[in-house]
Structure 1
Amino acid sequence: MTSLSGALCHGTLDTIVERGGLTEVTGADGGPLLELTSVPFGEVGEARVFHGDRIAKAVYVGLAVPQIGLDSHMVFAFAPAGVPVPHFTLDSVFGQGTYAFHLDLIPRADLGTHLAYLDWAHTPLDTTFEEVTGRPGLTKTAIGPRQFAMMSPWMLVHRADEEAFRSIDEPVKAYLEHWFALVEGGVPAEVAADVADTDLAARDERNRANIFSPDVDKVWAQVEQLIGIEQMEAVRGLLLDNSIPGENA
């Protein structure tokens, strides 16, 4: 039986793969690219990678360890390095007896100096963001300003009781639908002109290095404790850029 946290993330991943026309990069046995194992618990999860054109790369990471009450699922979908379309991300987790989620479109340019870009990429999310933040059953997850600075002000990052978590599907669909409108609609001329001063690829490289830095996000220490540093670094490496494993082999 699929868990609540698993169903939310897998349904989102399926939409990204199908609508984006993505192709999966499989392991040698035709299964997920990485099978993740833990010394005390055996097989605990997997990392899957997909690639395409307008969506350069999507990465799914799932970790399920019933022995410690953990069921964690994450998907990142990355636009091409030279395109200002934000990256989409969803985390969907059950752990320590409660649900949690993280939903965002990650900016590709400085929002404080690029108003046309901000209004194109993010302000259409205002209504959903404000409605969700006012819902009962949700409490803000305690992440610091330093980590928050890597993301967008429209990031939804909450713990949730079961009833509230069950209702998160529609906001996730709203964020995803807006993201697909950006992916599929092309970049308006005024937006392209607004971000012409930004080296999009260079900024993306630095931003992703920070987002996925163990120094910034302490969850990597927990992942390392579960699956070891070698597997942790293999997973983290999948997220740092849009390279596709094996494409230059």
Structure 2
Amino acid sequence: MTSLPFALATRALDAILARQPLTEVGAPYRELRSPMSPAPVGTMRVWQGDGEVSRIVYVGLVVPPINLDSHMVFAFTDPKSAVPHFTLDSVYGGAYYAYHLDLIPRAELSSHLAYMDSAYHPLTARYEEASQRDGLTRAHIGPRQHALMSPWMLVHRADEAAFRGMDPIVDAYAGHWLDLVAAGLPAEVTGSLADTDLAARDATVRANLFSPAVDPVWAQVSRLLGEPASDEIRDVLIGGPLS
């Protein structure tokens, strides 16, 4: 039986893959193993492309003894692109469901109003709708993590009914992102970003975003999978070469 977190994550993943010409590397790229189980506890899948979307990474971890059912999707645009990255985490932790949905900025929003309005403002109605839904409570993440994401980030714990109702919100965020990828940003918007070295900024932000010093989830991943596997996952997310 397909779990709700897996279904939500693959809903977004399948929508992206249906519209983007990417090639999967390996089948899967890695099986993920833990001392807790003789069988694999998860997979890392990776797709590569040479267009606007350069890499997609899916990491799934399912460990019933600790009530973990976690699925993460990151879709990364080209290092020189201004189109944000897409991310969705979809989790069941035994007592509650949780999700994290966002488009990760490629430039500073507060000093680039045209970029913010083009890339993010169309999501405002969906953001406000999701933020006010019954059955959702704001999940705690630290201010440093908040600073690396966008103000349109949705991050909640949810009861089952609220989690089941997230499909149209995920569809809206993924659909808006895919439209940005397909159409690109207006010339006047990209021109307003001339003061930003997009590739250099992206490398710095991704290193910070996936740093164990910023996100405590990596300590949990290291305990579950061991540090070498945790380090490899982070390296693939940061944009390192594939083996």
Partners of 1:240 and 1:144 lie apart in 2 by 20
Compute the TM-score of the two structures, normalised by the length of structure 1. Answer: 0.95
SS of the residue 2:33 aligns to: strand
Shift of 1:187: 2.3
Percent of pairs with identical residues: 56
Partners of 2:180 and 2:168 lie apart in 1 by 19
Contact 2:210 2:234 in 1 (8 A): yes
The question of 1:184 aligning with 2:182 is answered yes
Partners of 1:188 and 1:64 lie apart in 2 by 42
Give the corresponding residue for 2:33: 37
Contact 1:36 1:47 in 2 (8 A): yes
Residue 46 of structure 2 aligns with an amino acid whose one-letter code is V
| Count of paired positions | 241
Contact 1:141 1:159 in 2 (8 A): yes
SS of the residue 1:217 aligns to: coil
Compute the TM-score of the two structures, normalised by the length of structure 2. Answer: 0.97
Contact 1:17 1:50 in 2 (8 A): no
- 1:165-244, aligned counterparts within 5 Å? 165-241=163-239, 243-244=240-241
Return 5+ residue gaps in structure 2 as ranges: none
Q: 1:149 aligns with which of 147, 150, 154?
A: 147
Contact 1:59 1:77 in 2 (8 A): yes
SS of the residue 1:33 aligns to: strand
SS of the residue 1:83 aligns to: coil
The question of 1:47 aligning with 2:53 is answered no
Contact 2:59 2:73 in 1 (8 A): yes
Across the aligned residues of Structure 1 and Structure 2, the Cα RMSD in angstroms comes to 0.9
Shift of 1:11: 1.8
SS of the residue 1:85 aligns to: coil
Partners of 1:175 and 1:17 lie apart in 2 by 15
- Following TM superposition, the consecutive aligned residue runs of length 4 or more in structure 1 with deviations greater than 4 angstroms are none
Residue 21 of structure 2 aligns with an amino acid whose one-letter code is G
Partners of 1:144 and 1:96 lie apart in 2 by 22
Residue 33 of structure 1 aligns with an amino acid whose one-letter code is Y
Shift of 1:244: 5.0
Task: Summarize deviations over 1:61-86 as a string: whole Å, max 9, x none.
Answer: 00000111100000000000001000
- 1:14-33, aligned counterparts within 5 Å? 14-26=14-26, 31-33=27-29
- 1:114-133, aligned counterparts within 5 Å? 114-133=112-131
Shift of 1:130: 0.3
Give the corresponding residue for 1:84: 82
Give the corresponding residue for 1:245: 242
SS of the residue 1:205 aligns to: helix
Contact 1:114 1:195 in 2 (8 A): yes
Task: Summarize deviations over 1:100-136 as a string: whole Å, max 9, x none.
Answer: 0000000000001000100011010000000000000
